Amino acid sequence: MNTLLLTLIVSLGLASLLGFLLGVFKKVFHVDVDPLVSAVREALPGANCGACGYPGCDGLAQAIAAGDAAPTACTVGGAPVASAIGALMGVSAEAETKAVVLFCQGSLEHCKPKAEYVGIKTCQAAKLSVNGTKLCDWGCIGFGDCEKACPFDAIHVAEDGIPHVDYTKCTGCGICTGACPQKILSLVPVARRGAVALCSNRNTRKAQVIKDCKVGCIKCGKCEKVCPKSCIKVTNGIPVVDYSVCDSCGECVKNCPTKVLSLVEITCAKE
What is the arithmetic mean of pLDDT over 89-107?
89
pLDDT at 167 > cutoff 70: yes
Tell me the domains of the chain and their CATH numbers: 35-89 (1.10.15), 98-267 (3.30.70.20)
pLDDT at 31: 63
Q: What is the DSSP letter of 218?
A: -
pLDDT at 271 > cutoff 80: no
State the Cα–Cα distance between residues 66 and 40, nearest whole angstrom.
11
pLDDT at 95: 78
pLDDT at 244: 92
State the Cα–Cα distance between residues 167 and 267, nearest whole angstrom.
10
Q: What is the mean pLDDT of the chain?
A: 90
pLDDT at 213 > cutoff 60: yes
pLDDT band at 78 (very low <50, low <70, confident <90, very high): confident
Q: What is the pTM of this model?
A: 0.78
pLDDT band at 30 (very low <50, low <70, confident <90, very high): low
State the Cα–Cα distance between residues 19 and 233, nearest whole angstrom.
71
pLDDT at 268: 85
pLDDT at 206 > cutoff 60: yes
Closest CA to 134 of 157, 104, 179: 104
What is the arithmetic mean of pLDDT over 47-64?
90
Query: Per residue in 127-163, pLDDT tens?
Result: 999 999 999 999 999 999 999 999 999 999 999 999 9
String of DSSP letters for 103-151:
-----TTTS-BSS---S-SSHHHHHHHHS-SBSSTTS---S-HHHHH-T
CA angle, corner 15, sides to 13 and 16, nearest 5?
65
Query: Per residue in 174-185, pLDDT tens?
Result: 999 999 999 999
What is the arithmetic mean of pLDDT over 232-261?
94
